[in-house]
């Protein structure tokens, strides 16, 4: 590994599937792990949420997809605990940037950055909870971006204005759950076809038939230096890219009408992806690799954010009956890997999720890095850090989903 991992020493606590959910529940202690002995019966979701708030008191951060991803995790923790502190943390973060007229500090529709749509989900959440018009106005402003956002010839949203004619896996999570929820809330039924179309374009253009995995990105023009001149595809199967995509699938299904033909299409794709992920899960750790199909290759590493995303999506898919219970062992192994191999309790009593790729993109000279989509780029160039919100947000959501499974 490229970083020194300090972690909870729980190797002696190997849980069988029926005991998985005890690992979450108040009062459970593992005698092999002195670090867990002082947890005061808190679930993993609460431990991490409290640690995040301790590190970032008052509010999380600016308007940004990372902020939105973390706050979505806080929403799930609030729903399962009823603790108003988590709700207030969401509200204070948004109130720092959302004005009474619906304008949002740090957000510009004309940038046409699909990432910036993601946090709109929290506007919808607060509007439903409070009825305050400023959240509705702000959500409408975000929704207006999708009316004029540039698209490829086939109709898919560009990832960003600065990345023309490209679709990235990331973009499906950034745009489609908000798009679908907004349509459901405000009776825009015509938009559901467009939401489903975005996924079908990914299936058509980015899925590799041989492995069942999905390439990180696709350039319709075939002009970008990272794109294969014949297919337009990038080179690698990046873990977090596919994690964003799978989370988008299970979250969009929350809002897609039961009688919409797209439901069966998405569920079919989700089942195929679940089968693929089971095959690529690391046998020893239960985690998933930064470059998914290159496990054990030099400098590759089991990555925290992708693993949290897959555990969340698979657990939710089981609970919602999109996939069957045969995937419970996959969830168990993944969750155990997250909470043992990648968790560290520091001297302040805060919990830290380790081994998260800070960022990975394609194209241009970014932060003095040539983002060419090669294997070397993904494993050698981008720093590996703890507690990045792209990992901690999905970790919160994964913990809650596993806890919900335990309650059923």
| Beta partners for residue 369, in sequence order | 366
Please tell me whether residue 395 adopts helix, strand or coil conformation: helix
Identify the CATH number of the domain in which residue 268 sits: 1.50.10.10
In a domain, 377, yes or no: yes
How many distinct structural domains can be found in the chain? 1
Task: Using the predicted structure, report yes or no on whether residue 339 has a pLDDT greater than 80.
Answer: yes
* 203 pLDDT tier (thresholds 50, 70, 90): very high
Q: What is the pLDDT of residue 5?
A: 37
Integer Cα distance of 92 and 90 in angstroms: 6
Per annotation, catalytic residue among 83, 108, 115, 170: 170
Residue 246 structural domain:
17-43+151-174+183-407
Buried b / exposed e over 141-153, threshold 16 CB at 10 Å, is bbbebbeebebbe
Task: Specify if 67 maps to a domain.
Answer: no
Helix axis angle for 120-130 and 65-81, nearest 10°, is 40
Mean pLDDT of 70-97: 98
**What per-residue confidence (pLDDT) applies to 408?**
82
Beta bridge partners of 214: 207
Please state the length of the chain.
Answer: 408
Active site residue 170: yes
Reported as a single tens digit per residue, the pLDDT across 94-152 is 999 999 999 999 999 999 999 999 999 999 999 999 999 999 999 999 999 999 999 99
Give every CB contact of residue 284 below 8 A, 6+ residues apart in sequence: none
93: tokens are 């973060």
28, 327 Cβ separation under 8 angstroms: no
* Residue the block writes with tokens 């992708």: 306
Q: Which residues contact 366 (CB under 8 A, 6 or more apart)?
A: none
Of 122, 137, 109, residue with least CA distance to 69 = 122
Give the Cα-Cα-Cα angle 188, 189, 191 (nearest 5 degrees): 80
Tell me if 278 is assigned to some domain. yes
Within a domain: 205: yes
> Is 31 inside any structural domain?
yes
- In order of 145, 180, 238, 248, 250, the CA distances from 187 in angstroms are 18, 10, 36, 21, 21
The answer to whether residue 53 is domain-embedded is no
In a domain, 298, yes or no: yes
How much is the pLDDT for 367? 63
| pLDDT one-digit tens code per residue, 253-298 | 999 999 999 999 999 999 999 999 999 999 999 999 999 999 999 9
Q: What is the dihedral of CA 385, 386, 392, 394, to 10 degrees?
A: 50
Please indicate, yes or no, if residue 73 is contained in any of the structural domains. no
- Region of 303 (left: φ > 0; alpha: ψ -120 to 50; beta: rest) is beta
């Amino acid at each position: 590994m490229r970083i020194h991992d300090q972690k909870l020493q729980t190797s002696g606590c190997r849980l069988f599937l029926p005991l998985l959910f005890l690992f979450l529940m108040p009062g459970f202690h593992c005698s092999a792990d002195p670090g867990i002995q002082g947890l005061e019966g808190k679930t993993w979701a609460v431990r991490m949420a409290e640690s995040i708030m301790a590190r970032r008191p008052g509010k999380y951060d600016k308007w940004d997809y990372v902020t939105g991803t973390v706050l979505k995790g806080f929403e799930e923790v609030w729903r399962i605990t009823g603790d108003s502190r988590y709700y207030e943390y969401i509200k204070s973060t948004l109130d720092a940037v959302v004005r009474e007229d619906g304008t949002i500090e740090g957000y510009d529709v004309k940038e046409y950055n699909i990432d910036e749509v993601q946090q709109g989900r929290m506007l919808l959440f607060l509007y439903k909870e409070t009825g305050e018009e400023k959240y509705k106005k702000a959500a409408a402003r975000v929704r207006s971006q999708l009316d004029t956002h540039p698209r490829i010839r086939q109709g898919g949203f560009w990832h960003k204005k600065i990345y023309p004619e490209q679709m990235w896996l990331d973009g499906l999570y950034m745009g489609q759950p908000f798009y679908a929820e907004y349509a459901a809330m405000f009776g825009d039924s015509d938009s559901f076809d467009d939401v489903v179309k975005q996924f079908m374009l990914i299936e058509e253009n980015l899925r590799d038939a041989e492995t069942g995995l999905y390439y990180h990105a696709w350039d319709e023009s075939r002009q970008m230096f990272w794109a294969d001149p014949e297919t337009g595809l990038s080179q690698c199967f990046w873990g977090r890219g596919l994690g964003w995509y799978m989370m988008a699938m299970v979250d969009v299904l929350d809002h897609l009408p039961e009688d919409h033909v797209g439901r069966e299409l998405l569920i079919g794709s989700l089942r195929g992806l679940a089968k693929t992920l089971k095959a690529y899960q690391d046998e020893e750790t239960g985690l998933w690799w930064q470059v998914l199909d290159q496990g054990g290759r030099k400098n590759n590493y089991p990555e925290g954010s992708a693993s949290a995303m897959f555990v969340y999506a698979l657990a939710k898919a089981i609970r919602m009956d999109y996939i069957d219970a045969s995937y419970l062992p996959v969830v168990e192994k993944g969750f155990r890997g997250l909470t043992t191999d990648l968790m560290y309790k520091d001297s302040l009593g805060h919990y830290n999720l380790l081994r998260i790729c800070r960022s990975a993109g394609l194209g241009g000279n970014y932060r003095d890095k040539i983002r060419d989509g090669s294997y070397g780029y993904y494993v050698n160039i981008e720093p590996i850090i703890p507690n990045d919100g792209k990992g901690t947000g999905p970790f919160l959501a994964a913990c809650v989903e596993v806890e919900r499974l335990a309650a059923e």
